[in-house]
Structure 1
């Protein structure tokens, strides 16, 4: 089995084991007792049996394959029950929804890893055939139910985004999707796809809001470095009240988001006319994914020279932009003007 698959299984097992310890379960004997209790509470036709030995193998990363969701949900419910008894906040061990999302991300990463090669370098998503996460040739992914509104060139990015530990991006025209309010997202999506039926517009909005759960996680939350062109905050196509709410959202972004504004007056904004996003994957040992979005297509640079050029461009934009505190001052000024 390729080393990358081993690392994915081990990384997920470490997350489970960390929750096991946070739930203050004292021994594997206690774990087995709690497993039996939770299993007994399930309906007979839906019971999933997990022995103490199998649970130990999962928690210690001794298995060669990803555990099933039934097994993970059983462990998660055990952790929650133990936490409640000991008056430990359930958020410390993770909700079922959080574990479901983590499991889907890990399973997707596992399946995307070629069985014959340890290389997990993301590849260009130029069409359906051969693109990671393709709904035609690949396994279902977390965004599968939205596949009707996901362009082929965006599929690889969507599949990899929840795996990232650091998101670095420059946006010349809009507030980054991961930081948008629902009202702001509704207006900009409607402005671009207003010719589509209402149900497709709603799907696009819901997909954007769902992506934000990656930043909203209480455990394993990624860091984000967002560089935004000031012009994006003065977009006349967005209603003032909507933009005011959006600016307030940016002002209240947490410490995991480093926000810098590039002033309109700075010449650097003329040198970067397209959105640039870099995803970094510390947990899964993947190569950085560089995503250059265009109007109706995207590039995933694979050549080392091209990759270095875009990485350097992001650094230059970061140096040209205002530092976080002056950026916040500018945001407050824009909020007062609206």
Structure 2
């Protein structure tokens, strides 16, 4: 029966180093699972081919472990994947998946709960972010970010705070890259600009920074302000990030739900669609993005 079905292909997923290691590993993990299913091989049987446990196969197929080239080669042989193009692309993806994650240069300073988001956002085609309390991390200045981080981690060493600030403020660079940059649609409550972070000067420079980014990244950054008048209809209560990728057939949508000291990730289609609808509704009620610069200029005058 397996021979009657079209064999799965990975050729639709390109080798794109700028997307990061996690995206390549996740796409390849799903492909290995589809190849095993197509070959009609149970996880326990597949495990025998690489002298490992069934749990190891499960972790490999969920992108939760490093893919060893020798193991992948053995599994491809067991799954009867012989096409030179397919195997060549898989070799490229295995090599890319073994590279350091985007957050790894910052070591333990990178929050564990944030790492999956940091690892996958470079591969996003579109990011929708809602922030009810603060300027979104991608858009913060260094001084604004440092004050916020110190408030949450008052006992953290200065060197670690510096790493966190660098990690947070450099995330915006993915919008500046020339190859397939993502589009960021960020929505924040109007009260963000009334909540003083640091001195009035810090707020003034933060708003000036937002205006500069809107000018610089006019095709990659769309910023909307949600006024209090939307009331409960637009209230979510916590930060939400929705990622949609360039290759949805290989990478399903990811939803990040932030809480005070933890985070929840949702990847089931039903959850993704629900949060997509919530965010779409919020965007529809927020002030249109082409009016944001004028609103920020008004707020800037209040902080001057």
Describe the shift of the 1:133–1:181 C-alpha distance in structure 2 as closer, same or farther (beyond 3 A): farther
Stretches of structure 2 lacking an aligned partner (at least 5 in a row): 1-6, 36-57, 69-96
Describe the shift of the 1:309–1:109 C-alpha distance in structure 2 as closer, same or farther (beyond 3 A): closer
**Residue 330, structure 1, aligned to residue 295, structure 2:** yes
Alpha-carbon separation, structure 1, partners of 2:236 and 2:22: 32
Describe the shift of the 1:270–1:220 C-alpha distance in structure 2 as closer, same or farther (beyond 3 A): closer
- 138-147 or 259-268, larger mean C-alpha shift: 138-147
Question: SS of the residue aligned with 2:12?
Answer: helix
Kept in 2: contact 1:3–1:118 (CA 8 A): no
Question: SS of the residue aligned with 1:225?
Answer: strand
Kept in 1: contact 2:106–2:163 (CA 8 A): yes
TM-score of the pair, normalised by structure 1: 0.63
Describe the shift of the 1:280–1:118 C-alpha distance in structure 2 as closer, same or farther (beyond 3 A): farther
**Residue 158, structure 1, aligned to residue 118, structure 2:** yes
Kept in 1: contact 2:135–2:188 (CA 8 A): yes
- Give the aligned CA root-mean-square deviation in angstroms: 2.8
Kept in 1: contact 2:211–2:296 (CA 8 A): yes
Matches within 5 A, 1:96-175: 103=17, 105-112=19-26, 113-114=28-29, 116-118=32-34, 139=98, 140-175=100-135
Question: SS of the residue aligned with 2:163?
Answer: helix
Per-residue deviation at 1:107? 4.3
Stretches of structure 1 lacking an aligned partner (at least 5 in a row): 13-101, 120-128
Kept in 1: contact 2:18–2:123 (CA 8 A): no
Aligned residues: 236
Alpha-carbon separation, structure 2, partners of 1:330 and 1:149: 35
Per-residue deviation at 1:110? 2.4
TM-score of the pair, normalised by structure 2: 0.69
Counterpart among 173, 186, 189 of residue 229 in structure 1: 189
> Which residue in the other structure is 1:55 paired with?
none
Kept in 2: contact 1:184–1:246 (CA 8 A): yes
Describe the shift of the 1:118–1:209 C-alpha distance in structure 2 as closer, same or farther (beyond 3 A): farther
**Residue 210, structure 1, aligned to residue 170, structure 2:** yes
Alpha-carbon separation, structure 2, partners of 1:270 and 1:181: 27
Task: Please list the CA deviations of residues 50-91 of structure 1 after superposition, one character each: whole Å capped at 9, or x if unmatched.
Answer: xxxxxxxxxxxxxxxxxxxxxxxxxxxxxxxxxxxxxxxxxx
**Residue 3, structure 1, aligned to residue 12, structure 2:** no
Question: SS of the residue aligned with 2:187?
Answer: strand
Describe the shift of the 1:109–1:301 C-alpha distance in structure 2 as closer, same or farther (beyond 3 A): closer
Per-residue deviation at 1:227? 0.7
> Which residue in the other structure is 1:259 paired with?
223
Counterpart among 300, 307, 310 of residue 265 in structure 2: 300
Describe the shift of the 1:305–1:219 C-alpha distance in structure 2 as closer, same or farther (beyond 3 A): closer
Describe the shift of the 1:326–1:269 C-alpha distance in structure 2 as closer, same or farther (beyond 3 A): farther
- 266-275 or 225-234, larger mean C-alpha shift: 266-275
Alpha-carbon separation, structure 1, partners of 2:142 and 2:64: 26
Task: Please list the CA deviations of residues 172-211 of structure 1 after superposition, one character each: whole Å capped at 9, or x if unmatched.
Answer: 0111111111221122112212210111101101111232
Matches within 5 A, 1:14-33: none
> Which residue in the other structure is 2:161 paired with?
201
Kept in 2: contact 1:133–1:156 (CA 8 A): no
> Which residue in the other structure is 2:244 paired with?
280
Alpha-carbon separation, structure 1, partners of 2:233 and 2:146: 26
Kept in 1: contact 2:234–2:282 (CA 8 A): no
